[in-house]
Amino acid sequence: MKLQKEWINFLREQYPHGSRIRLREMKDPYHPIEPGTLGTLDCIDDIGTFHVKWDNGSGLGLVIGEDSFTVLPPETHLLKLYMPMTVDCYEKNEWGDTEDEPTELDNHTAAGYADHIVAALMRERLSTETERGLMHYYDKNDSVEQKVKSCDFTAEVRNGRLWGVAECQVTGELTPKELYTLKEYISGQASDGFGEGFEQRKIKVGDSELYAHLWSSEDSWSIRTEQECFVQKLAEGLPERCFSTLPGTGDLICIKRGENGYYKSDWSTESREKNQELADYNNERLGVTAAQRQAMECGSMHGWNVPGADPKAYEPEGPKMGGMTLA
């Protein structure tokens, strides 16, 4: 049975990638799958076949009109969007009066009040927001409204500083455009909606009064996914590993992509010259270029986000980089 293009497009809209499938009956006489088996929809092709990654490892497709199956909604998962928080503190003066001007707490000190701030954020939630949180006020009838089931503000400590977090329960995967729309909505809630009221609420801690801000007018403020915020980005073209020698001792070492420091190789000898030969031999065998080796050395010692951790920095047409020294 050949399906029309319009019907194919309708099926793709109704059943996006990630939808769960429960099989009722498969007509394939050679490789049947047991009724009741679950799988995840990968795609619907141009002739209407449902390509499924079955939980039992099979990859057999389903054909409308021949096979019998049920499409379940995509499973809900947690999406966290992070924004840097700032905290102002009003303290008592020597006469017991509250100071007129606040002190902005440094990152470490603000992080110490995370539990108080989380509790204050939870107290701000209204009974009308129980089911959908801040999505209760989302006024567009679009795919974001359909996919994002709820959104609530909380706070976390990551990398020694305090972050505001929008916890979103999402079905399926957001497209880049949908994620941008969601970020814009939450930014508005952080600045002019929920956040505007919250930053005026006093958080009493001992004799001090805290005021926490989800949003800031500083250029450094942004709202990002967990991956965008915390997952270390590596330059393209870095090998999985490479070999080098320590300038001080001449030891043969192995450097692994994305890891800080290095590992002393079991092949290391007492000879500096021999170790250099071994490093060159192994790098050639692994297909590691001189530019890649230099970038790996820099990344392992100075961080994988610095310009020197990019092989392009050492190629003839790339920007000139100074040398580096392995300790």
Burial 189-203 (b: 16+ CB within 10 A, else e): bbbebbbeebbeeeb
In this model, does residue 243 exceed pLDDT 50? yes
Q: What is the pLDDT of residue 323?
A: 43
Burial 57-89 (b: 16+ CB within 10 A, else e): eeebbbbbeebebeeeebeeeebbbbbbbbbbb
pLDDT tens for each residue of 192-217: 999 999 999 999 998 889 999 999 99
In this model, does residue 101 exceed pLDDT 80? yes
Confidence of residue 2 (pLDDT cuts 50, 70, 90): low
Comparing 323 with 117, the larger pLDDT belongs to: 117
The structure tokens 């928080």 sit at 85
pLDDT tens for each residue of 12-43: 888 887 788 999 988 777 767 889 999 988 89
Q: What is the pLDDT of residue 230?
A: 85
In this model, does residue 124 exceed pLDDT 80? yes
Helix or strand or coil: residue 307?
Answer: helix
Q: What is the pLDDT of residue 285?
A: 93
Q: What is the pLDDT of residue 148?
A: 95
In this model, does residue 136 exceed pLDDT 60? yes
> Residue range 261-276: average pLDDT?
93
Confidence of residue 229 (pLDDT cuts 50, 70, 90): confident
Helix or strand or coil: residue 188?
Answer: helix
The answer to whether 18 touches 175, Cβ cutoff 8 Å, is no
Q: What is the pLDDT of residue 31?
A: 67
pLDDT tens for each residue of 294-320: 999 999 998 888 889 999 999 876 554
Residues 6+ apart with CB under 8 A from 234: 257, 258, 299, 304, 309
What gap in Å lies between CA 277 and CA 283, rounded to an integer?
10
Comparing 280 with 127, the larger pLDDT belongs to: 280
Confidence of residue 326 (pLDDT cuts 50, 70, 90): very low
89, 90, 93, 98: CA torsion to nearest 10: -170
The segment(s) of the chain belonging to CATH 2.30.30.30 are: 5-73
Q: What is the pLDDT of residue 28?
A: 73
DSSP classification of residue 312: G
In this model, does residue 327 exceed pLDDT 70? no
Q: What is the pLDDT of residue 295?
A: 95
Confidence of residue 289 (pLDDT cuts 50, 70, 90): very high
* Topology (CATH) of 5-73: SH3 type barrels. (2.30.30)
pLDDT tens for each residue of 142-192: 989 989 999 999 999 998 899 999 999 998 788 899 999 999 999 999 999
Q: What is the mean pLDDT of the chain?
A: 89
Helix or strand or coil: residue 232?
Answer: coil
Residue 276, both tokens: 């250099």
